[in-house]
Structure 1
Amino acid sequence: MIFLPGKLLGKNSAFFLNFSQQNYWNSSGSDISLQAGFNSTIHNVNYGLYYQNTRSHFTHDDNSITLRVSIPFTLQENRRINTAFTLAHSKSSGTSGQAGVNGTLLDDDRLSWAVTSAYDDTSHSTNSASLGYLGQYGNLYTGYAYSKNHRQASLNLSGGVVAHRGGVTLSQPLGSTFALVEAKDAQGVGIENQTGVRIDPFGYAVVPQSVPYRVNSVALNPQDFDAFLDVPNAVADTVPTRGAITRVRFDTFRGYSVLIHTTLADGSYPPLGAELYRASGISNGLVGPGGDVYVSGVDSGEKLQMKWGETHQQSCEITLPELRQEPQQATAWRELSLICTVTPSR
């Protein structure tokens, strides 16, 4: 086989030539095949011209030539539509052609569509259209095709069901290895690189396919976060074994994000590195220089405890004021100056 890359023919071009001959034992005949083709791209238009000649010891000889052209279009919001045309002629089957257009819709390309029309000298024209949807709770495919002699409609629904200690989660069709994602308070947030997969109203989602014995990154899509959702770490890596169901949990905080300038009752700053805890006992921030601490997922009237040691004298308490007013910035954060008072002894 001879192959000439684009460096010899020009940018984005290639030519190939292939010749083969097969001889038979105790026979004077042979099979001969010659193939040649040229591919190139001009201004995003891809085209190729192919020729094939076959001479067979057992069947008729045949010659064929094929022209293929594909043209992508980019619409608004980087939405792409692909068009493709094929025209072929052979000695044995005559002339045939096909034209098609396909593309995707919706924010993460989870809705795909295609329309195709084909023609040949035997069955004449055949036309088809199809829609595919990769959904949060399963996949749907529907299609319709018709020609002079037949009509065909199809509908296919597929999905999966995962039962776990948190309930039951519907999903796209499952592979032998997959991941269950838990992200409470992140309902509606998508999983990156997983078309159609989103956190359901109960705080769960299923990544239907994982690669065993490889690092699989599961990431929440930050573009889906609203102003009141904070996820300190939105990416998790797993290395599943074959056939394993991996559980991936993300800590989420829903509420206001607040930058607090804290002082103690005597006007001094809390110690650098003091930790701030929510009433549930979850750590939600560290004190920085000048008593500044950033917390997220908090609400009006919530009490936060600051600790920098084990004794009662090494802790104090902050009570958040009313936070429910129009946010001054799109991120819905607040900036407050508050006094951290000594925690009442119990």
Structure 2
Amino acid sequence: MTVMLSHAGTLRGCGVLHGGGINLGAPVGDGFALVQAPGAQGARVGSGTGVRVAGNGYALVPHISPYRWNTLDLDPAGLPMEVELLQTSQRVAPTAGGIVRVPFEVRRERTLFIDATDALGQPLPFAAQVHSEDGLPLGAVGQGGVIQLRGAQDAGALIIDPEGAARCRIEYRMPDAPGAYGLSWSVGVCVPQRLAAASASL
């Protein structure tokens, strides 16, 4: 990792060349950090610093105190819905003149909102369980029959209330482009299905 300092007139700055590219920032102090948060481009590091995660998924924090614990926070405000920060805070204690790499875990999953109704056009029951066709729990029906599906595929199907009287199957498809506010919406009708045990007894 190479640090390059440059100045022109009254402008001074720092560039750090590393395996993920190059990041620019203010002149560094006795200790500095390289935040690694791939997928969280635009997230603010700390408060009031003006440092944000760049397009390459890294951010240069030019001043942290050596030989003591420093807390680095990553603010998720303004990130797209499909980006989830699994960590928002890290503690590091660098040596004087050293640089530390601070990785943050980021998960990026497409989120689809499904405005779902039953066969009669009524909203699905609030809090009814939502499973994949393979039986994996995916959450519950929200208010107004809206299902928030994280990790949505291009197309698929869901089972609603898999062990209850309201059991039904709904197919979904991701839209070609997000709608208002950058959210992806779909509509669907949940087709009633009999429970396997009930069908076997007939």
TM-score bucket of the superposed structures, by smaller chain: 0.5 to 0.7
CA 1:251–1:181: 2 relative to 1, 3 Å? same
Residues of 2 paired with 1:214 and 1:202: CA distance? Answer: 29
| Unaligned segments of structure 2, at least 5 residues | 114-128, 141-147, 157-170, 191-202
How far apart are residue 251 of structure 1 and its match?
A: 2.2
Q: How does 1:58-97 map to 2 (within 5 A)?
A: none
| Unaligned segments of structure 1, at least 5 residues | 1-137, 141-154, 271-286, 304-319, 338-346
What residue in structure 2 maps to residue 163 of structure 1? 17
How far apart are residue 301 of structure 1 and its match?
A: 2.8
Residue type matched to 1:198 in 2?
Answer: R
CA 1:289–1:230: 2 relative to 1, 3 Å? closer
CA 1:257–1:243: 2 relative to 1, 3 Å? same
Q: How does 1:1-346 map to 2 (within 5 A)?
A: 156-257=10-111, 261-262=130-131, 269=135, 287=137, 296=150, 298=151, 300-301=153-154, 321-324=172-175
Residue type matched to 1:250 in 2?
Answer: F
Residues of 2 paired with 1:164 and 1:185: CA distance? Answer: 18
Q: More deviation in 172-181 or 195-204?
A: 195-204
Report if aligned partners of 1:217, 1:235 keep a CA contact under 8 Å in 2.
yes
Residues of 2 paired with 1:239 and 1:332: CA distance? Answer: 42
Report if aligned partners of 2:178, 2:185 keep a CA contact under 8 Å in 1.
no
Report if aligned partners of 2:70, 2:91 keep a CA contact under 8 Å in 1.
yes
How far apart are residue 241 of structure 1 and its match?
A: 2.3
Residue 45 of structure 2: SS of its match in structure 1?
A: coil
Residue type matched to 1:196 in 2?
Answer: G
Residues of 1 paired with 2:25 and 2:76: CA distance? Answer: 21
The Cα offsets for residues 98-156 of structure 1, whole Å up to 9 and x where unpaired, read as: xxxxxxxxxxxxxxxxxxxxxxxxxxxxxxxxxxxxxxxx9x9xxxxxxxxxxxxxx51
CA 1:207–1:333: 2 relative to 1, 3 Å? farther
How far apart are residue 177 of structure 1 and its match?
A: 0.7
Residues of 2 paired with 1:300 and 1:288: CA distance? Answer: 13
The Cα offsets for residues 136-191 of structure 1, whole Å up to 9 and x where unpaired, read as: xx9x9xxxxxxxxxxxxxx5101111121112211111112110011112222221
Residue type matched to 2:82 in 1?
Answer: F
TM-score in terms of structure 2 length: 0.56
What residue in structure 2 maps to residue 45 of structure 1? none
CA 1:241–1:258: 2 relative to 1, 3 Å? farther
Residues of 2 paired with 1:252 and 1:334: CA distance? Answer: 26
How far apart are residue 322 of structure 1 and its match?
A: 2.3
CA 1:174–1:334: 2 relative to 1, 3 Å? farther
Percentage of identical aligned residues? 28
Question: Which one has a larger percent strand, Structure 1 or Structure 2?
Answer: 1
TM-score in terms of structure 1 length: 0.35
Residues of 1 paired with 2:186 and 2:107: CA distance? Answer: 15
Q: Compare relative contact order (CA 8 Å, sep 6+) and give the higher one, 1 or 2.
A: 2
Residues of 1 paired with 2:112 and 2:17: CA distance? Answer: 38
Report if aligned partners of 1:256, 1:333 keep a CA contact under 8 Å in 2.
no
Higher Cα radius of gyration: 1
